[in-house]
Structure 1
Amino acid sequence: MARRFSRAVLTIIVIVVVLIAALFYGVYHLLNRAKPFALGEHCQVKAASGTLDLEIEQAQIAATIAAVATRRKLPERAVEIAYVTAIQESKLLNLPFGDRDSVGVFQQRPSQGWGTVKQLQDPVYATQKFFGALVKVKRYQKLPLHEAAQAVQRSADGSAYAQHEEDAKILAAAFTGRVPKAVHCWYPLSETPAPPRAALARKELSRALGDLGGAAGDGGRITAPSTRRGWQIAAWSVAHAREYGLRQVSYAGATWRSASGHDGWLADGKAASGRVELA
């Protein structure tokens, strides 16, 4: 009896140890995955159909894709197709590696004529190439999102794009400016912040969105030809605020401030309706 009891106890101990090890393994990977959010680096996207949490780089990529689509005068449907592709291929990250020689947001291959490695690591260039191929797909606007994406990418499993359709629609509604005040970010602020580089942010935005008009001395003041375009510019600017040291973005009666990024867009009677202001 004593030997049987010992074996039973030993079995229980082994099971408990395995369970504890599995628990610690799961918690470790969960915390590792949530590291950017735990550090306070985070963006949130809200639309009528739902809310998404993004890393700041993901928000920047999403904003760039929408801006390039606007420059090319493409419909929101094209933006959704680009998003299901980018989420599946890279999780909306500008990867320096991939399957075989694939790189970048859309995992395009230099050997297949998409461009050089350096070019494909530029999200503006990569997005231009993606849309250039998409518009050649016959009736792409009528196709299911995943079928249109597959027609461009020709991946091993085109059905995989379908799982990202709902997220793509939320992102498209926000980053095209159709939904006002849809994007806000927050992150730790430096104790000795550098001066805002609003003029540089404006220059980079114009690379994706096209000519922003205005005089050379406008700096961080960007005239919006429509309310939707204004909110698109505002969303791009908030997503890139950390990179360019922007302390606030104002538009149409609301202001986002880096010091209180968690609070999102707050009412501000001084924020002009026809102009996005970066400071």
Structure 2
Amino acid sequence: MALLAEAGPPAPPPVVGPRSHRPLRRALKYVLAVGSVCAVATVGVVVGLNSLTGAGPVTERCAARLNGSDWYLSPDQADNAALVAGTSVARGLPARAATIGLATALQESKLINIDYGDRDSVGLFQQRPSQQWGTVEEIMDPVYSTNAFYDVLVEVDGYKDMAVTEAAQKVQRSAYPDAYAQHETRSRAWASALTGNSPEALSCELGPVAEGDQLAPDAARDVVVGRLGRDLGLAPATGNADPNRQDPASSTVTVDATPLTPDDPQRGGWATGQWAVATAHATRAVEVHVADRVWLREEAAWVGAETRLAPGEVRITVDAAE
């Protein structure tokens, strides 16, 4: 993307006789005064917008923290990152695979499922039907394209020990083989959080769910349940899938994430919990409870919970219509 050129210095005023200096100074003082008032007014408007109750953040964004630094993605990018990383966990792949997958998608599509690209490339990974990646319809399905990427990656001998850009290039055969490296640190931050290796490292700043976007409790839970199955291969422990549920009006889905990482249920819980935060914009989640911590949408942060959940247990509460 071309950068806008900075504006050059203003043209010097025309050369005039001595008598015109004083009026010019008065005019300049007037312009400066008006400019100062406008600047103060602008700041006031911005502050006012931020302080409106329920207005939400001016810019919605999500961040994964690594070594004290926050690495940001938009809510749409975070949603796709949750799928890419979640698929790697569901397939039993190491976090390194998620890092490679995320770096590749960031370079190829900026982690947006686009329907255009170089020649016939489309989708998250800009895969080409002419190179036997599948049909356009298949590649535009982010679940299909993500699994197609990992199907090839796992066949690359020694990919776990390769530089990210080298492993990605083995799969993509890009004309710009070194381009993936620039996304490595951001991808490691997101992969570490979404695979559960960095607990409480991912949060999103989101506005409140608009009243017009609220669903009935059953329908709201269905959205979460559908995404759990699609991205992580998990079913809810309670909720719509439980015919014996006692409270059909409940807006909370409880998940047993133990099958995701059988040898480390705590990691599975954090992988699922932070997946729920990364997808909150799409699922309308407002609370995510893992262990003794709970992410609150209105706080855009993890805070202490009143109760501690068992390792691997996750509770996702959505904003539903009453």
Q: How large is the Cα RMSD of the aligned pairs? A: 2.3
Alignment of 1:65-104 (within 5 A): 65-104=84-123
State the distance in 2 between where 1:130 and 1:61 align: 14
- How far is 1:191 from its partner? 4.9
Change beyond 3 A, Cα 1:166–1:49: farther
Spell out, residue by residue over 1:116-163, the C-alpha distance to the aligned partner (whole angstroms, 9 max, x if none). Answer: 222222222111000001111122122211111001000101011112
State the distance in 2 between where 1:144 and 1:273 align: 37
SS at 1:221 equivalent = strand
Is 2:286 aligned against 1:265? no
Match of 1:146 among 143, 165, 169: 165
TM-score normalised over the length of structure 1: 0.81
Spell out, residue by residue over 1:218-250, the C-alpha distance to the aligned partner (whole angstroms, 9 max, x if none). Answer: 771101321111111111111222212222111
The percentage of counterpart residues that share the same residue type is 37
What residue ranges of structure 1 are gaps of 5+ in the alignment?
Answer: 1-9, 15-36
Match of 1:205 among 196, 206, 228: 228
- How far is 1:271 from its partner? 4.6
Q: What's the counterpart of residue 272 of structure 2?
A: 233
State the distance in 2 between where 1:260 and 1:165 align: 29
Flag the structure with higher helix content.
Answer: 1
Is 2:254 aligned against 1:224? no
Amino acid at match of 1:224: A
State the distance in 1 between where 2:137 and 2:13 align: 55
State the distance in 2 between where 1:157 and 1:190 align: 41
Q: Is the 8 A contact 1:255 1:271 kept in 2?
A: no
Spell out, residue by residue over 1:38-79, the C-alpha distance to the aligned partner (whole angstroms, 9 max, x if none). Answer: 733111111226311110011111111111111211111111
Q: What's the counterpart of residue 27 of structure 2?
A: none
SS at 2:108 equivalent = helix
TM-score normalised over the length of structure 2: 0.71
Q: List, as ranges, runs of 4+ consecutive aligned residues in structure 1 with deviation greater than 4 Å.
A: none
State the distance in 1 between where 2:62 and 2:216 align: 22
- How far is 1:208 from its partner? 2.2
Alignment of 1:110-189 (within 5 A): 110-189=129-208
Q: Is the 8 A contact 2:120 2:129 kept in 1?
A: yes
| Count, aligned residues | 246
